Amino acid sequence: MCKRGLLWLAVGALLLGGPVNLVFADPPVADKVIDKPTNVKPVPRGMPDLIPYWNFDPPKSPLFDLKNFTVNGDMRVRPEIRTNSNFGVTQSLPGQPTTGRVGGANDWYVQQWVRIGLNYALSPDVDFFAQPQWAKNWGAADNTINNGAGCSAGGSICSNDAFNNGQADSLFLRQAFIMIRNIGIQGLSLKAGRQLIVMGDHRLFGHFDWANTGFSHDGVTFQYQQPTWELWGGWLKPMDQEFNGFGQQSTSFGVMPQGAPTSTASKAGADSDLFFTRLAFKPMAGLAIEPLWVWQRNGAAQANAASPINGVLAAHANGQSRHTAGMRVALRKSIFDGSAEGYYQFGSMDIGQSGQRAHINAYAFAAEGGVTLPIPWAPRIGLEFNMASGDGDAGNCTSANPAGCGGTANTFENLYPTNHIVMGYADIMAWRNMVAYSASLQFIPFDYAANHFEFRYWNFRRQTAGDCWYRAAQNCYYAPTATNTANHLADEIDFIYTLFFKNNKVAWQLGASYMFAGGFLDNQAGAGNQPVNQTWAYTQLHINF
């Protein structure tokens, strides 16, 4: 009993002695340097306390100035139609190669998004920016009575959007970051938060605005700018294994990483990280040279034993450490313009569940150029060539049969691109296991700034017959089969017309593509069957302010 009383006495002394100690401690002296002040209050938020938290009344900030606050916005509505999306041929899924003639698989839908950008300039060098976005397919917001799981008895309407057929995922933050310029060094800027990463011609990194949600990246980036060059780099977090998948997912394409959240003790080591650095400099007028290095590390082990692993799974597969090194060069001089970029990928990736790994050895190259004639309508005639490596062992490579992988992973990783604008408008091709040739004609009739025509022809082929045909989202469109060695996939003709009006605040666009089935699809349909050609078309209305 005596010991218990002494214990409570000691506890009381500690609780009371702390505040008394602070009261009687020597206060800091203003005109005297104190190396170790003893009476400094902690900062609970770990941040400047310019606007304190409140007990009841909300704060009225003396720092806010309306003239430093700006708003911008975008809204787009786009109906799309696609006929014979599988060319009338059975699609062979990874691990399940099949052939045969099937129905048309036609589709029609309307996509819409609206964005509001909110920017506040705290000072000329400090910006706060947030961009919420609402995105949905028309008809996906089902407002009818739903008596499914989660609804109360008696047939009442579900009040929780999570049970109302997809309503809950309509609204998200597309961008939200802090930007600080001239941080310690003139010309050095920092951006922290959710942001867009766009490089060059969008072949490796793009905003993917064509999709209904696009690509956003969470992380920290730095940029150091000088008059003739800039250095850009940072760390991005594509996926944390404590959570399931990307916060951003394309409604149209379903771009997702492989694997589910890990339940192991080493969750941090299983996360996905991406590091990059890019130098852009202009040694002379009209010429830009842009070397790039990217390290993509997806730490979670590959766990899918049934499907082919090497190159056949969708992009950003688990269990890989992939380096991308290369360069882009662009030139614009007089009536000529052109660009070329090439990249080599190396590292290693999982091919089994017992620690087997394959060496990554992949590459890609693209070149395009054009001539703009100095005559009315300013027609531009262009040519383009693209290629990206594939893997001849992809169809045989499974975690259950790592010997079938051949020890290497040769399929090029397309990273986070806007394939829609560089691989054909119909979105049937990614920069993976492909060879493509293109010719184009563009012109600006009637009024130089108000409208634009584009006609383009594409010839798409596989680089190797042992690997997939990959769609724009980098997923396997048709898996390889032992009997179908044809590489000619399809020919595509694109037509795009864009009209700007209302002082360029409104744009209307009309587009159509027609795809002719190639020899690969003839073989896929099998003897006595013929594939059918595919049509894709859209119209969209876009406003911004």
8: part of which helix (H) or strand (E)? helix 2-24
Q: For residue 297, is pLDDT > 70?
A: yes
Out of 152-156, 183-187, 478-482, 526-530, least confident range: 152-156
Amino acid at 82: R
Return the SS3 of 480: coil
Q: For residue 444, is pLDDT > 90?
A: yes
| Better-scored residue on pLDDT, 52 or 37 | 52
CA 128 to CA 120: how far, in whole Å?
5
> 415 with 368: CB under 8 angstroms?
no
pLDDT digits (tens, 9 = 90+) for 320-357: 899 999 999 999 999 999 999 999 999 998 887 667 88
* Parallel/antiparallel/unpaired status of strands 336-350 and 380-388: unpaired
Q: How many residues does the chain have?
A: 545
> 322 with 368: CB under 8 angstroms?
no
> 56 with 442: CB under 8 angstroms?
no
pLDDT of residue 355: 72
DSSP states of 129-142:
EEEEEEEEETT-S-
CA 85 to CA 100: how far, in whole Å?
15
Mean pLDDT of the chain: 81
CA 345 to CA 321: how far, in whole Å?
10
Strands (E), 245-286: 272-284
What residue has token string 């606050």?
69
- Percent of the chain scoring above 70 in pLDDT: 76
Domains detected in the chain: 71-145+158-544 (2.40.160.100)
Instruction: Give the phi and the psi of residue 183 in degrees, each rounded to 5.
Output: -85, 95
Strands (E), 334-431: 336-350, 357-372, 380-388, 408-409
pLDDT of residue 249: 36
Between CA 29 and CA 31, with CA 30 as vertex, the angle to 5 degrees is 100
List the structure tokens of 406: 């051949």
What residue has token string 């309307």?
110
Average pLDDT in the 123-152 region? 75
pLDDT digits (tens, 9 = 90+) for 260-270: 444 444 566 67
In 3D, which of 489, 497, 494 has the Cα closest to residue 469? 489
pLDDT of residue 165: 45
Q: For residue 529, is pLDDT > 60?
A: yes
| CA atoms in the 13 A half-sphere facing the CB of 197 | 32
> 394 with 401: CB under 8 angstroms?
no
Q: For residue 120, is pLDDT > 90?
A: yes
pLDDT of residue 142: 61
535 beta partners: 83, 514
Q: For residue 47, is pLDDT > 70?
A: yes
The Cβ of residue 91 has, within 10 Å, a number of other Cβ atoms equal to 18
List the structure tokens of 240: 């944390």
| Better-scored residue on pLDDT, 267 or 18 | 267
Average pLDDT in the 191-199 region? 96
pTM for this model (two decimals): 0.82
pLDDT digits (tens, 9 = 90+) for 357-406: 889 999 999 999 999 999 999 999 999 999 999 998 887 777 777 777 88
Instruction: Give the phi and the psi of residue 85 in degrees, each rounded to 5.
Output: -65, -20
* Parallel/antiparallel/unpaired status of strands 534-544 and 506-517: antiparallel
Distances in Å between the Cα of 194 and the Cα atoms of 175, 278, 351 are 5, 19, 32
CA 293 to CA 345: how far, in whole Å?
10
Q: For residue 447, is pLDDT > 80?
A: no
pLDDT digits (tens, 9 = 90+) for 493-523: 999 999 999 888 999 999 999 999 999 999 9
CA 232 to CA 224: how far, in whole Å?
6
List the structure tokens of 284: 């002379």
Out of 16-25, 234-243, 413-422, 454-463, least confident range: 16-25
List the structure tokens of 158: 């579900």
Between CA 257 and CA 263, with CA 259 as vertex, the angle to 5 degrees is 130
451 beta partners: 499
Q: Sorting pLDDT into bands at 50, 70 and 90, what band is 449?
A: confident
Average pLDDT in the 174-191 region? 96
What residue has token string 């005297």?
32
Return the SS3 of 215: coil
Handedness of CA 433, 386, 107, 85 (dihedral sign): negative
Please give the distance of CA 540 from its chain centroid, rounded to a whole number. 22
pLDDT of residue 525: 85
Please give the distance of CA 329 from its chain centroid, rounded to a whole number. 23
pLDDT of residue 161: 39
Q: For residue 16, is pLDDT > 60?
A: no
CA 440 to CA 371: how far, in whole Å?
11
Amino acid at 351: I
List the structure tokens of 228: 């003739």
401: part of which helix (H) or strand (E)? none
pLDDT of residue 99: 53
